[in-house]
Amino acid sequence: MQKAEQIWGAYAQSMQEQNDNWKNLLADDVTFTGPAAKALGKEEYIKTTEDFFGMVRGAEMKRYVANENLVATEVEIKVATPAGNIIALDMTEFYEIKDSKIKSVKVHYDAEEFRKEFGIN
């Protein structure tokens, strides 16, 4: 069985290279929880992720830590807004890995500016 860091690393690399390999690393019942969205199951997670990455204009990994089944990251993501602005989101992400698949992703960031720019209450 691969370590969480290896699974997450392959996921992150696939995202960076903008190929679809990351989808194969998701558990069928993967969950996503964030300040502006939630997803249950692989299909919903993929749609939510693809919708978000359509707005991403850059990302900088600041650091990460990993153990046997969890990876925590700190990353700054630049996001294009409908008004044409670019906002920077300082995110903390938690990836739970089980049976060599990503089982859950929890994202935390200050969503006030994001909600304001996207008209979300």
Q: Is residue 121 in a domain? A: no
Q: Is residue 106 in a domain? A: yes
CATH number at residue 97: 3.10.450.50
Q: How confident is the model at residue 1 (pLDDT cuts 50, 70, 90)?
A: low
Indicate the number of domains in the chain: 1
Q: Is residue 24 in a domain? A: yes
DSSP string over 37-61: -EEESHHHHHHHHHHHHTTEEEEEE
Range of the domain at 15: 4-116
Per-residue pLDDT for 69 more than 80? yes
Q: Is residue 19 in a domain? A: yes
Q: How confident is the model at residue 46 (pLDDT cuts 50, 70, 90)?
A: very high
Convert the pLDDT of each residue in 73-114 to its tens digit.
Answer: 999 999 998 888 999 999 999 999 999 999 999 999 988 888
The pTM (predicted TM-score) of the whole model is: 0.91
Q: Is residue 57 in a domain? A: yes
Q: Is residue 58 in a domain? A: yes
